[in-house]
Amino acid sequence: MSSGTTNRFDVAVLGAGAAGMMCAAVAGQRGARVVLVDHATRIAEKIRISGGGRCNFTNLQAGPANYLSSNPHFSRSALARYTPQDFLALMRRYDIGWHEKHRGQLFCNESAEDVIRMLRAECDGGGVTWRTGCGIEEVRREGDDYLLVTTQGTLRAGALVVATGGLSIPKIGATDLGYRIARQFGLKIVDTRPALVPLTFDGQAWQPFVPLAGVSMEVDIATGSGKTAGAFKEDLLWTHRGLSGPAVLQISSFWRPGAPIDIDLFDGEDAADWLIGHKRGSRKHLANLLAERLPSRLADA
Ligand SMILES: Cc1cc2nc3c(=O)[nH]c(=O)nc-3n(C[C@H](O)[C@H](O)[C@H](O)COP(=O)(O)OP(=O)(O)OC[C@H]3O[C@@H](n4cnc5c(N)ncnc54)[C@H](O)[C@@H]3O)c2cc1C
């Protein structure tokens, strides 16, 4: 492919994930000539695996307080201009069925693939040019343009959007390209660390809890103090390797190695007091009594 005028675009978007496709589609529909570049041939893999394959695509209560940033106002204007209802309107236009699972979490009825197809169609509606399976070898400024040297030739664009995602799951295409480009252009980078992840434990130490895998229950979970404190009332899920579920995914974003995580399984009550109070005068087996407050498998354990 030669680097002639046909390869000049108003906007080059790097990364055809949720962010890149949405951005490319909107820019294209507003009349910009957009090229969307991704090194993967199978795009949007993270959408595909999201929400257990059904994509938890928004939350009815999504708001600025749900976003972590050293600038808490950062997400305010974006969320004010594009609300969960706007995304639902888009889903309706594509006749994609959805349901509310819990606490405002919305999932596709059928498959996350529906969201991918919708975003693809939105890009096509904006006349977006696709470059998939296209590695990015170099990004540099040339005059007023950004010049991209790719495995499919050279591209030029007046504006560059870097939407190559985070570092999680390199197996499905994640790389540090966004961080490298940021560094190259002298932008400050916040240290990266895992967020919204399950907690895994040392295999041997976790062995006694393995039989609890699959048990789910609402808990109060908290860690940290002061400005970096996190506290949630959410569902916790026991797994073969540790703890997961919304409670743990949420708290993982606040946890610092070495810091304790407090998990209250008993809704703020003192479990010993409750047990003593209820065992007195009762002939119930301890596990049966506990099962009034805890999932029975946990009470048995
Ligand atoms: C298991 C799992 C479940 C999840 N479930 C949910 C959920 O239910 N709901 C929810 O809202 N979020 C969920 N998330 C988070 C969500 O998937 C991500 O936040 C979101 O997909 C990120 O979108 P993105 O466009 O920023 O990045 P990505 O989806 O990561 O897209 C980045 C794109 O850039 C491309 N790219 C990367 N490096 C290069 C490079 N060097 N050259 C060219 N292209 C490159 C990649 O191939 C990829 O297509 C989940 C995440 C995981 C891992």
For residue 249, what is the domain's CATH number?
A: 2.40.30.10
178 lines ligand 1 (CB under 6 A): no
Mean pLDDT score, 7-18: 97
**Residues 243 and 132 occupy one common structural domain:** no
- With the most atoms of ligand 1 within 8 angstroms of its CB, the residue from 160, 164, 167, 248 to mutate is 164
246 lines ligand 1 (CB under 6 A): no
Whole-number mean pLDDT of the chain?
Answer: 93
5 has a pLDDT exceeding 80: no
**Residues 123 and 263 occupy one common structural domain:** no
| Residue minimizing CA distance to atom 8 of ligand 1 | 51
Residue 42 C-alpha to ligand 1 middle, in angstroms?
Answer: 12
Mean pLDDT score, 118-140: 97
> pLDDT of 258-286, one tens digit each?
999 999 999 999 999 998 898 888 888 88
Distance CA 296, CA 215 (A): 9
**Residues 177 and 213 occupy one common structural domain:** no
50 lines ligand 1 (CB under 6 A): yes
> pLDDT of 152-180, one tens digit each?
999 999 999 999 999 988 989 999 999 99
Distance CA 224, CA 250 (A): 13
275 lines ligand 1 (CB under 6 A): no
Residue 104 C-alpha to ligand 1 middle, in angstroms?
Answer: 22
**Residues 27 and 120 occupy one common structural domain:** yes
| Residue minimizing CA distance to atom 27 of ligand 1 | 165
What is the per-residue pLDDT for 34?
A: 98
Q: Give the residue from 244, 215, 217 showing the smallest Cα distance to 233.
A: 217
What is the per-residue pLDDT for 3?
A: 43
**Residues 264 and 233 occupy one common structural domain:** yes
What is the per-residue pLDDT for 1?
A: 43
**Residues 148 and 273 occupy one common structural domain:** no
| Residue minimizing CA distance to atom 14 of ligand 1 | 50
Which helix (H) or strand (E) element contains residue 159? strand 153-162
Residue 89 lies in a domain: no
168 lines ligand 1 (CB under 6 A): yes
Residue 80 lies in a domain: no
**Residues 141 and 253 occupy one common structural domain:** no
- With the most atoms of ligand 1 within 8 angstroms of its CB, the residue from 13, 26, 50, 137 to mutate is 50
**Residues 171 and 217 occupy one common structural domain:** no
Q: Which residues, at least 6 apart from 230, have a Cβ–Cβ distance to it below 8 Å?
A: 222, 223, 224, 250, 251, 253, 254, 255
What is the per-residue pLDDT for 207?
A: 96
The number of distinct structural domains making up the chain is 2
142 has a pLDDT exceeding 70: yes
Q: Which domain holds residue 175?
A: 5-55+111-184
| Residue minimizing CA distance to atom 33 of ligand 1 | 15
> pLDDT of 45-88, one tens digit each?
999 999 999 999 999 999 998 898 888 898 999 999 999 999 99
Mean pLDDT score, 235-250: 96
Residue 160 lies in a domain: yes
Residue 87 lies in a domain: no
- With the most atoms of ligand 1 within 8 angstroms of its CB, the residue from 26, 46, 61 to mutate is 46
Distance CA 112, CA 253 (A): 24
| Residue minimizing CA distance to atom 2 of ligand 1 | 50
| pLDDT above 90: percentage of residues in the chain | 81
Q: Give the residue from 254, 37, 252, 49 showing the smallest Cα distance to 132.
A: 37
Task: Indicate the residue among 136, 153, 184 that finishes a domain.
Answer: 184
Mean pLDDT score, 219-231: 91
Task: Indicate the residue among 123, 158, 184 that finishes a domain.
Answer: 184
Mean pLDDT score, 87-95: 98
| Residue minimizing CA distance to atom 50 of ligand 1 | 50
18 lines ligand 1 (CB under 6 A): yes
Q: What band does 90 get if pLDDT is binned at 50, 70 and 90?
A: very high
134 lines ligand 1 (CB under 6 A): no
**Residues 292 and 222 occupy one common structural domain:** yes
38 lines ligand 1 (CB under 6 A): yes
Which helix (H) or strand (E) element contains residue 78? helix 76-81
Task: Indicate the residue among 159, 184, 209 that finishes a domain.
Answer: 184
Residue 246's Cβ-count burial label (10 Å; 0-12, 13-18, 19+) is: buried
- Structure tokens, 169: 């799951």
What is the per-residue pLDDT for 71?
A: 86
17 lines ligand 1 (CB under 6 A): yes
199 has a pLDDT exceeding 90: yes
Residue 103 lies in a domain: no
Distance CA 59, CA 55 (A): 11
Distances (CA, A) of 92 to 95, 98, 125, 140: 5, 9, 16, 40
Distance CA 111, CA 51 (A): 10
51 vs 5, which has greater pLDDT?
A: 51
Residue 90 lies in a domain: no
Residue 170 lies in a domain: yes
239 vs 66, which has greater pLDDT?
A: 239
| Residue minimizing CA distance to atom 23 of ligand 1 | 18
**Residues 204 and 294 occupy one common structural domain:** yes
- Structure tokens, 118: 């919708």
Q: What is the CATH number of the domain that holds 9?
A: 3.50.50.60
Residue 93 lies in a domain: no
**Residues 244 and 269 occupy one common structural domain:** yes
What is the per-residue pLDDT for 39?
A: 97
**Residues 230 and 277 occupy one common structural domain:** yes
